[in-house]
Amino acid sequence: MIGALKMMIWRDVRQSYASGGTWLPVIFYLSAATLFPFAVGPDRDLLLQTGGGILWIAALLATLLPLDRLVQPDLDSGFHDQLLVRGIADELIAFARLISHWLAFGPPLLFAALLASGLMGLEGPPLITLLASLAIATPALAGLAVMIAALTAGLKGAGALGGLLLVPLAIPLLIFGAGSLADQSGSALLFLSAVSLLLVAITPFAAGAALKAMRE
Amino acid sequence: MRIDGGDNLRAEALSCVRGDKLLFRDLNFTLEPGQAGLVTGPNGVGKSSLLRLIAGLLEPFSGTIHVPTSVAICDDRMALDENLPLQDALRFWASLDDRLEGDCADAMGAADMGHLAEVPIRYFSTGQRQRARLARTFLTAADLWLLDEPANGLDTASVELLGQSLQAHLKRGGMILAASHIALPISFNLQLELTALEEMETPQ
């Protein structure tokens, strides 16, 4: 079972990086960060105050970009069925997807956030808090992406529906994540960790149930 | 109910419902090791659903199906990564099934795909794609092969070659259940003819 998990993760990660799809969220993220100073003007204090929040919103939006290639291609190509026939459960497939998607999504996004924070003039402790909050949240964002991709697989207009589904589900992450930037006590980061852990923990089961229901 | 781990394939009063439609009901048959079965019937009568049901991809509406421990299904979908060369794409399934590198070469040879081992799958023609699917199936060590139109898109020589692989699988004590409109060059021990059911027999 562990061997199968490793192989599925390795295949997904290799495919994501080889197809170049991994860099799409990064480019999107950097463009959003570049546009923001043009829109609000080069006022340093204003950028410092709002920059972290903007980078957080850009991270949520970047989550939406890879939705259509997380689950649907493997369902269409029969790959998913071939895994099931070998006795691999939907939940394990979803779990492998969660890990592989995080590996292809989390580190590049953090790297992009590091570059983008330069454009906002963020440095020192606020920068470290921002990167820490994003690092804690990216597994949850990857989990949300996998859940939504599984729920909307096979539907018409899955992309638009995915956007609608993500917004309410990501609100707790945004509140504690962006909230941690102004919070000195560190408790916002702890709440963020709790929310992130919860979302990661339910992802294999929620996505697995969605995939099962689709076969009926 | 689907029970796996048996020696043979055995259906008892098997019924299948897709959507609101009853596809077949009270199906009884047995396939012993070394035997082959052929499912026939018009389009849409439930041949593919029967194969998917045996593979565990659909739940029976009622009845019981006993299946051997390992099952392989070959339908019209690739389940191979389009951008990878054939041998690399096959290697994923080979390592998942604990097969060796030599088995990969054998499976490609049996499907006459050895010379295309290094060609990415997206360049394959219809017939080559079908042979790649067959190679993927030959590669499994499964006892029971479920083949959905295995000869689709194949030329006469390839159908002969397919027949040899099927024959070899039966000789090893394997089982085959195929749905095919094209005559396959093996003798079948079992013929299952599915017929369209009357509308009034739709369950409520």
Rg (CA), chain B: 17
Structure confidence at residue B166 (pLDDT): 94
Residues of chain B where predicted confidence (pLDDT) is lower than 70: 198-204
> What count of CB pairs under 8 Å joins A to B?
46
* B95 is a domain residue: yes
Residues B106 and B28 in one domain: no
Interface residues of A toward B, Cβ cutoff 8 Å, are 3-4, 7, 11, 15, 18-19, 76-79, 81-82, 84-86, 215-216
- Residues B9, B48, single domain; the answer is yes
Query: Which residues of A fall within a CB distance of 8 Å from B58?
Result: 215
pLDDT of residue B201: 52
Interface touch B81/A11, C-beta < 8 Å: yes
Q: How confident is the model at residue A208 (pLDDT cuts 50, 70, 90)?
A: very high
Mean of the pLDDT values across residues A153-179?
91
B93, B149: one domain: yes
Per-residue DSSP letter, B200 = G
CA distance, residue A163 to nearest chain B CA (Å): 28
Residue A165 has pLDDT above 80, yes or no: yes
C-alpha–C-alpha distance, residues B46 and B33, integer Å? 24
Q: A35-87: per-residue pLDDT in tens?
A: 988 998 888 888 888 889 999 999 999 999 899 889 999 999 999 999 999 99
State the smallest CA–CA distance between residue B41 and chain A in angstroms.
23
For chain A, give percent helix, strand, coil, nearest 5.
Answer: 85, 0, 15
Q: Taking the model in full, what pTM does it have?
A: 0.92
Q: A111 falls in which pLDDT band (50, 70, 90)? A: very high
Number of alpha carbons in the 13 Å side-chain half-sphere of residue A9: 15
Q: For testing the chain B interface, which of A7, A15, A75, A82 should be mutated: the one with the most B CBs within 10 Å?
A: A82
A71-87 exposure pattern, b = at least 16 Cβ within 10 A, e = fewer: bbebbebbbbbbbbbbe
Q: Are residues B98 and B146 in the same domain?
A: yes
Residues 6+ apart with CB under 8 A from A156: none
Does residue B29 form part of some domain? yes
Which residues of chain B are within 8 Å of residue A84 when distances are taken between CB atoms?
56-57
| CB atoms A78 and B79 under 8 Å | yes
Q: Are residues B52 and B107 in the same domain?
A: no
Chain B residues in contact with A76 by the CB 8 A cut-off are: 77
Q: Is B154 part of any domain?
A: yes
Are A7 and B77 inside 8 Å of each other by CB?
no
User: Do B84 and B175 share a domain, yes or no?
Assistant: yes
What residues of B are in the A interface, CB distance below 8 Å? 55-59, 71-73, 75, 77-83, 92-93, 95-97, 136
Contact between chains at B92 and A7 (C-beta distance less than 8 A): yes
pLDDT at A216 exceeding the cut of 80: no
Shortest Cα distance, chain B CAs vs residue A86, angstroms: 7
Same domain, B46 and B130: no
Tell me if B107 is assigned to some domain.
yes
Residue B27 lies in a domain: yes
Instruction: Check A82 against B73: CB less than 8 A apart.
Output: yes
**Contact state of A86 with B96 under an 8 Å Cβ cutoff:** yes
Same domain, B49 and B141: no
Q: Do B114 and B100 share a structural domain? A: yes
Can you tell me whether residue B122 is helix, strand or coil? Answer: helix
Interface test with A, best of B76, B96, B133, B140 (most A CBs within 10 A): B96
Q: Do B77 and A77 touch (CB under 8 A)?
A: yes
Host H or E run for residue A57: helix A44-64
Evaluate whether residue B106 is within a structural domain: yes
Identify the pLDDT of residue A24: 86
Same domain, B52 and B118: no
Whether B161 is covered by a domain: the verdict is: yes
Task: Write the CATH number for B153.
Answer: 3.40.50.300
Phi, psi at B12, each rounded to 5°: -125, 115
Coil, helix or strand for B182?
coil
Q: Which residues of A touch B77 (CB under 8 A)?
A: 76-78, 81
Task: Tell me: do B23 and B116 sit in the same domain.
Answer: no
Given a contact cutoff of 8 angstroms between Cβ atoms, the answer to whether B104 and B94 are in contact is yes
Write the residue in A7, A15, A77 that is nearest to B96 by C-beta: A7
Number of domains comprising chain B: 2
Question: Nearest-CA residue of chain B relative to A85?
Answer: B55
B56 to chain A, closest Cα gap in Å = 7
Q: B166 with B97, same domain?
A: yes
Distance from CA of B17 to the nearest CA of A (A): 10
Provide the residue range defining the domain that includes B149: 74-179
Please report, for residues A50, B110, B115, the alpha-carbon distance to residue B157 in angstroms, rounded to integers and kept in the order given.
70, 12, 16
Inter-chain contact A85–B95, Cβ cutoff 8 Å?
A: no
Residues A160-184: what's their mean pLDDT? 91
Assess if residue B204 is contained within a domain: no
